[in-house]
Structures are given as C-alpha cells and as structure tokens.
Amino acid sequence: MHINEFWYSTNQKDWLNALDNYWASIGENNIQLEQEMDNLEPNNVQNMNQQEWYNFLLNKYFRWKYQPNRYATTTKYFKKYQEENRLNELYDIKNQIFAFDKENIMLGLKIKIEGMGVPGRSGLLSLLFPNYFGTVDQFVVKALRNIEDLPEKEQLLRMKPEKLEIDDGVILIKIMRQKSIELNNMFGTNFWTPRKIDMILWSCRD
C-alpha cells in the first residue's frame, strides 16, 4: 500500500502491516542489532559509566544508525573522546540527554555528540525516548513528501533531505508525534509512538 493511502487510513491493520514491512526490510545481518535497539532499556543506558557509555555508542548505536561505508567517517570524530581523554565530557552529555524536558524537541536536538548530525542525534533520542522522538533522515523527508494534503508540505519541500537542520528535525518529529497521538486516539491504544511512525516512514522510502 502506498504511503498516501495508509497515512489517512482509519484501519489499524493497515498501520500494523506497514510496521511489519519495516521489520521485513531489515537484512539478516542486521536483525539482531535492530531487535536489541528496539528493546533498549533507557535505565540501563542511564546507569552506564563513562567507558560503558562510550562503548555503547561506538559499538552499538553507530553501527545501528549508519551503513558500514558511513561508520568509519562518523566514528572518526567520535573516537576523539577516548583518544583525547574526554570521556568525562561525553558522560556529561549523557546526563544532559536524560535531564532535559522531553517535550522540548529543539532542546533535545541541540545536545551535540561528535560525529552526529541532526539525524544521528534524533536516532539516539528515538531509541531512548520512543514516546517523544522519532528518527529524522532523508528517507523520512522523501516519504512525507509523497503524502498529499499534508499541512507541512511546503516546509518539507524546502528542506535539504541530506543536510537536515535542527528546525527541520523539529518539524519532522512534530509530525510523528501528532500522527502517533491521532492513531492512539483513533484506535483506543497507547501502542503508537513517534518512533514507530519513523520506522514506517523509513520502510516507505523510494
């Protein structure tokens, strides 16, 4: 089903099928990490020490978020935290991530980690706080552009999908939040989250 059809669907089965498509699109080599990240316990991350936090980001998060050809370039800058004995700085960033008001999308996206742009930051927030955040990237933008009558259509067309700014991320996550609220109200559930909406949008990429 084309995204334009199920985006306005009032049948929960259509949405569940779209979510299933996400999992079906994950390669065999990545499914274990994908499931691990999907079941991530925020409290476990919050309780990590400096080295554990660094290792988690380097060996789990970056591998989840970036394709192998991007992994080397993105982690090049990130590894400086360890090479320059700045793990305490990275640890302070973790504390910021867990302390900020999760309703404030912009505040979350402004928390910078070396090697992560807006897509990378949003991805981490979406795994830790799926009820508040979804991952924003070029595929989400391109999928949303295919939806007719979307109020944010002009804003989406002005975005540079491969170079998203913080303001773009705020708009995209607001769309995901609104859709998840709409679906939960419609279906009488609390199942739908911005994170699940981003998974569906990613699976609808061209």
Q: Which pLDDT tens digit goes with each residue over 84-112?
A: 999 999 999 999 999 999 999 999 999 99
**What's residue 138's pLDDT?**
95
* Whether 69 contacts 99, CB under 8 Å: no
Parent domain of 19: 3-204
**What's residue 206's pLDDT?**
60
pLDDT bin (cut points 50, 70, 90) of residue 204 is confident
* Whether 121 contacts 109, CB under 8 Å: yes
- In percent, the amount of the chain with pLDDT more than 90 equals 91
Residue 188 token pair: 């009488």
What average pLDDT does range 101-129 have in this prediction? Answer: 98
What average pLDDT does range 183-191 have in this prediction? Answer: 98
Per the prediction, the chain carries an average pLDDT of 96
**What's residue 27's pLDDT?**
86
**What's residue 68's pLDDT?**
86
Instruction: Sort 122 into a burial class: Cβ within 10 Å, 0-12 / 13-18 / 19+.
Output: buried
Residue 131 clears pLDDT 70, i.e. is over it: yes
**What's residue 66's pLDDT?**
92
Global pTM?
0.95
**What's residue 10's pLDDT?**
96
What average pLDDT does range 126-151 have in this prediction? Answer: 96
In total, how many domains does the chain have?
A: 1
Residue 154 token pair: 């002009």
* Whether 133 contacts 108, CB under 8 Å: yes
pLDDT bin (cut points 50, 70, 90) of residue 1 is low
172 or 2: whose pLDDT is higher? 172
In this predicted model, what pLDDT tens digit does every residue of 49-81 receive, in sequence order?
999 999 999 999 999 999 888 899 999 999 999
